[in-house]
Structure 1
Amino acid sequence: MLPSGTEKTGHQVDKATTGWVNGFVGVVIFSGSLPATRVAVMDFDPVFLTVARAAIAGLLALALLLMFREKRPARGDLFSLAIVAFGVVVGFPLLTALALEHVTSAHSIVFVGLLPLATAIFAVLRGGERPRPAFWLFSCLGSALVGGYALSQGVTASPVGDALMLAAIVACGLGYAEGAKLSRRLGGWQVISWALVLSLPVMLVLVFSTMPPSLAGVGGAAWAGLAYVSLFSMLIGFVFWYRGLALGGIAAVGQLQLLQPFFGLVLAASLLHEQVSVSMLVVTLGVVLCVAGARMFAK
């Protein structure tokens, strides 16, 4: 029989590995969000798209909560759920949809490389985590690599689009860290579900007030984009993502987001036929090494 200390260490390793696997699945799902949004805003107004995706996901979340008879969150959790709703239900989707009216999805995706650093900062401010100094070195280096790639692609192409993307990153980092902290008590899918349900009444009102007079001109690709961001980006992805952050550590697992721009760029190139530089491969390799280094020194 193994010593109790060894069993505890093994349990911690399994828990961390499970967290990283869940986080990776979440990142892969989220990688399709910006390309799908880019397709959807070609036929949908950005504000309508934002509230429609939140309303659809909110109705699905409500059905899940009722089906599994989940206990209502405590009154003290409502403030945290409101932050999650502000950051990932409204803030990030709306700001990115507005940004994608000014920039391509390939251009916007590289800004997501700043999201791990934003998430790590909020993990310290809101989650109480204290990564080792070397962690910040790898996190900043990974963000710098992605930021440098963005500069090489022409980051000043649209100041308005770039400013909206930066604001989206801040809102999303806050929502990720707050939701992960809360999911340690409520569970990953429960947190995003309650956040969606909390915002559902307002979203439903806004859906009907912003709905275009006719949807006849909306193409199949735009409907598919709306379906993806509603089901996968707004709900299913968070089931894996919040579970990964809660088990593996917000700051540590959050570094997986450094890979998201490059998954997204592949989708942008293959599905939207947007031009992607071959230098992406070199930067991707550097980012992978930074993620590995950040994981090593996260705690």
Structure 2
Amino acid sequence: MSTPVSASVASPDVAAPATTPVPPPRTAPEARGLALGLLGVMIFALTLPMTRLAVGTPDAPLMSGLFIAMGRAAVAGLLSGALLLALRAPLPQRADWGPLVLTALGVVFGFPLLTSMAMRHVSAVHASVIVGVLPLATAAVGALLHRQRPSPAFWACALLGTALVVAFAVLRSGGAGLALHPADLLLLGAMLCAAVGYGFGARLSQHMRAEFVICWALVISLPATGPLAALSWPAAPMPVHAWGGLAYVSVFSMWLGFFAWYRGLALGGTVRVSQVQLVQPFLGMLFAVPLLGEGLDTVSVGFGLAVMATVLLGRRMPVRPRPASA
């Protein structure tokens, strides 16, 4: 009599696994990472134009590159300290201090200082020729740090996207983008600093909150950025638009943008999400329509769509872990 009962009870147990909800696909975090990365890139897209607004031109110089770089870091550092205190953030682990210092050297000191010095001497379009190599550099640094081996097809998509960005920038400059300028060395150095800072910051964001990563990097930099900002304070009164440019790069480019960017890199992977940066020049151009009264043309839209296609195509290409060496 007990056998039929046990069978009737057992059969639902056997069938239960078939009705268990399927775990979310592994691409869900990656998709979220790409979305957050795009949000960060949208915030970063105005960095170079706003920096140019603050530093002026060789004929009409405004704030110094040193003051822009250190001032933005000092303001963001004070905001970071207040946030860390408000959230009672724990101190970083002992092993995290080294990567935090490297992150700070890359994105708090290197990139802001070198770009601020360069942007007085080159146009935003010219600078975008050099900035176009940043996604490729970030992917290379990410592959080394995270021991990944992107497939040849992924690198082909990355190279194609970089070539499209550079070709677009040269076309927009009427060929002037091909003429090298001494400031290009500063921009190339800035790209290397940013790639290193992005790579180490993304690695820290895998076990720290993304906002804490940039906040700690800014806070540990305050003993240097604060005094340097004070020493390089402009002697003459500055126009409102220069202070507005400084305010943007301080609060958004140096602080809030990294909340989304580092979280996106951690979720989606530095190698893949780095390619979202390819659309940054086109986003900057799009934002210039309402801000500067510039217009869009079919060539610009076509290049933008082509670059986005390389990003989407590259996402489908395999990125495998690098085998451990003996």
Q: Please, what TM-score do these two structures have when normalized by structure 2?
A: 0.85
Specify the alignment match of 2:304 in structure 1.
284
Tell me the CA shift for residue 83 of structure 1. 1.1
Name 2:156's counterpart in structure 1.
137
Q: Return the offset for 1:265.
A: 2.3
Q: Which amino acid letter does the alignment assign opposite residue 91 of structure 1? A: G
| Distance change (3 Å), C-alpha of 1:22 and 1:270 | same
3-state secondary structure, aligned to 1:297: coil
Distance of 2:224 and 2:110 partners within structure 1: 14
Q: Residue 107 of structure 1: CA displacement?
A: 2.1
Contact (CA 8 Å) 2:44, 2:280: kept in 1 or not?
A: yes
Aligned partners of 2:125 and 2:169 also within 8 Å: no
Mapped partners of 1:20, 1:4: distance in 2:
31
Does the aligned pair in 2 maintain the 1:113–1:143 contact within 8 Å? yes
- Distance change (3 Å), C-alpha of 1:106 and 1:283: same
Other-structure match for 1:239:
259
Q: Counterparts of 1:258 and 1:4 in 2: how far apart (Å)?
A: 43
Match of 2:28 among 5, 14, 20: 14
Alpha-carbon spacing, 1:128–1:27, altered in 2? closer, same or farther (3 Å): same
Once the two structures are aligned, what percentage of the paired residues are identical? 42
Aligned to 1:197: 219
Q: Distance in 2 between matches of 1:33 and 1:4?
A: 50
Report the counterpart of residue 211 of structure 1 in structure 2: 233
Moved more, 141-150 or 265-274: 265-274
Paired residue secondary structure (2:150): coil
Kindly provide the CA deviation profile for residues 103-141 of structure 1, in whole angstroms up to 9, marking residues without a partner as x.
111221343221110010001112222222211110011
State the distance in 2 between where 1:17 and 1:47 align.
38
> 2:115 and 2:276 mapped to 1: Cα distance?
20
Distance 1:4 1:112 in 2: 50
Distance 1:290 1:60, change over 3 A: same
- The aligned counterpart of 1:254 is 274
Task: Pick one of 22, 28, 31 that aligns with 2:42.
Answer: 28
Q: Which runs of 5+ in 2 are unaligned?
A: 1-15, 57-61, 320-326
Aligned pairs (5 A) from 1:4-153:
7-8=22-23, 10-42=24-56, 43-152=62-171, 153=173
Q: Is the 8 A contact 1:32 1:264 kept in 2?
A: yes
Q: C-alpha distance in 2, partners of 1:194/1:89?
A: 11
How many angstroms does 1:144 deviate by? Answer: 1.1
* Offset at residue 233 of structure 1 (A): 0.3
Matched AA of 2:302: V
Aligned equivalents of 2:318 and 2:252: distance in 1?
A: 28
- Residue 20 of structure 1 and its aligned partner are, at CA, apart by 1.3
1:293 partner letter: L
Moved more, 121-130 or 225-234: 121-130
Mean Cα deviation higher: 10-19 or 48-57: 10-19
After superposition, residues 161-200 of structure 1 pair within 5 angstroms as: 161-200=183-222
Q: CA deviation at 1:264?
A: 1.1
Residues 154-177 of structure 1: CA deviation (Å, up to 9, x unaligned): 224451122222221111111111
**1:21-54: CA deviations, max 9, x gaps?**
1111111111011111110112211111100000
Contact 1:35 1:267 in 2 (8 A): no
Any idea what the Cα deviations from partners look like across 1:62-89, whole Å, max 9, x if unmatched? 1111111111112221111111111111
Give the number of aligned pairs. 296
Kept after mapping to 1: 8 A contact 2:52/2:119:
yes
- Mark the CA change 1:291 to 1:134 in structure 2 (over 3 Å): closer, same or farther: same
Secondary structure of residue in 2 paired with 1:186 = coil
Over aligned residue pairs, what C-alpha RMSD do you find? 2.1
Q: CA deviation at 1:276?
A: 7.8
